Amino acid sequence: MFEHHEAQGTRAALEAFLHEYRITFPVGIDVRDEGQRLPRTMQTYQMQGTPTTILIDRAGNLRKQKFGRDDDMLIGAEIMALVSESAVDLPDQVADSSSGPKSACDDNGCRIA
C-alpha cells in the first residue's frame, strides 16, 4: 500500500518508482476521504500503521491482521495454507459488520465491500 502519496509526489512519481524497481504486482493508492485523518483502508481495517499484514481468504473473510513486522517464512506458510484451502475448508461464518470488515477477492485482488 502506497499511503503517503501527497508527501511522495504525484501518481507519476509512484509510476516512475514502480518502473525503476521493476515492481510488476498491483500497488494500490489508499484514498483519504475529505475531513478524515486516515486513508480509507486504514480506517476500514482499523490499522495502526505500517507495516500491517492482512490476509483474506477466498470467501473474502479477514483471516489475519497484524501490525508490525512478521517472519517471512511464517507469512509464506499462512498464505500457502489459505491458497490450499478448498471451499469446504473455509470457516462457516462470513464476516459481517459486527465482526470486522468485509472484503471481496478475485483474480484482480481484494477490495473492501
| pLDDT at residue 24, rounded to an integer | 93
Domain with 72, as residue range(s), is 48-112
Share of the chain above pLDDT 90, in %: 31
- Please check whether residue 55 lies inside any domain of the structure: yes
pLDDT at 41 over 80: yes
pLDDT digits (tens, 9 = 90+) for 76-85: 999 999 999 8
- Please check whether residue 107 lies inside any domain of the structure: yes
As for how many domains the chain has, the answer is 1
- Please check whether residue 69 lies inside any domain of the structure: yes
What 3 state SS string does 32-86 have? CCCCCCCCHHHHHCCCCCCCEEEEECCCCCEEEEEECCCCHHHHHHHHHHHHHCC
- Please check whether residue 38 lies inside any domain of the structure: no
- Please check whether residue 24 lies inside any domain of the structure: no
pLDDT digits (tens, 9 = 90+) for 59-72: 889 999 999 999 99
